[in-house]
Amino acid sequence: MLLALVFMLLLSMVAATVLQSAILQLHMAGNDQFKEEALYRAQAIVAELSLEPENFSLQGDVGRTNCPPGDDSPQCHQHSLQLPTSAQALEGYALDIRVTRQDPLLWRGFPIRENEHEVSSSNRFDAAIFEVDVHVDGSEARLGSAHIVQGVAVRVPAFRQ
């Protein structure tokens, strides 16, 4: 009887250890899922921002930053950035979006390979380079966080004199 009690105690200790390990692995998997979800959300926002030409103002100098309306950060020079639909439905996430004009002000002779339905007679264009910076932070709600910075070249027809 005493031997059965000792074995029962050992088995319960092993079961408690296995249960604790399983719970820890479950938390780690949840953290990975939240982190991956935040990354996908940030990528969707960057992709939608890149499709709107109004988000990339060719007016202004290098370093000019466009932010969403209501962003009162001192780094913002312009507040005309349209929030994409993927950014409007983020519950529990803090969102920081910026589009910044990069150097050179105009990249002359930028080679662009176009889609077949957009092909023109020119194979070189001038381009304005922008940096789209999206930070999705869900740490307050115990969700994942992601930060994506992506370069965008906006095509400007090259005029040779």
User: Binning pLDDT at 50, 70 and 90, where does residue 30 land?
Assistant: low
d(CA 102, CA 149): 13
Torsion of CA 103, 106, 107, 110, to 10 degrees: 140
How many angstroms separate the first and last alpha carbons of the chain?
A: 101
pLDDT tens per residue across span 124-156: 678 889 999 999 998 888 788 899 999 998 887
Torsion of CA 16, 20, 22, 26, to 10 degrees: 150
What pLDDT does residue 34 have?
82
- The owner of tokens 């400007």 is 156
d(CA 59, CA 1): 87
- Which of the pair, 134 or 73, is modelled with greater confidence? 134
Query: What tokens does 101 get?
Result: 């004009």
User: Binning pLDDT at 50, 70 and 90, where does residue 88 land?
Assistant: confident
User: Binning pLDDT at 50, 70 and 90, where does residue 86 land?
Assistant: confident
Closest alpha carbon to 152 in 109, 107, 117, 121: 107
What pLDDT does residue 125 have?
76
User: Binning pLDDT at 50, 70 and 90, where does residue 161 land?
Assistant: very low
- Which pTM value belongs to this model? 0.72
Segments in the chain forming alpha helices (H): 2-50, 85-88
